[in-house]
């Protein structure tokens, strides 16, 4: 009996492991419109919907607004970048 994985399964597993590693850590989320959100990642689901805490909104590198909690809809997300842990 051979063990086979579905095409793209290893990619999905790698994404899951990345998000699992990032929970509770600082991340930068860039949206398709160029706005960046920086904060602590709390939840991400299979549709890339994201919940963050201590969130700051940046436009063209300048701080625009600070939020407590933030929900970002997954279809607007361009990328998520893990950041070094805050001291």
Q: What is the pLDDT of residue 2?
A: 44
The three-class DSSP label of residue 80 is strand
Reported as a single tens digit per residue, the pLDDT across 6-54 is 455 556 677 677 778 889 999 999 999 999 999 999 999 888 899 999 9
Q: What is the pLDDT of residue 12?
A: 67
Q: Which residues pair with 44 in a beta bridge?
A: 50
Predicted structure pTM score: 0.79
């Amino acid at each position: 009996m051979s063990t086979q994985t579905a095409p793209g399964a290893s990619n999905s597993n790698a994404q899951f492991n990345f998000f699992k590693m990032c929970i509770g850590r600082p991340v930068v989320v860039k949206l398709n419109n160029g706005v960046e959100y920086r904060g602590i990642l709390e939840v991400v689901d299979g549709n890339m919907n994201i919940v963050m805490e201590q969130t700051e909104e940046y436009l063209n590198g300048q701080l625009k607004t600070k939020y407590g909690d933030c929900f970002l809809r997954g279809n607007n997300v361009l990328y998520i970048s893990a950041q070094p842990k805050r001291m």
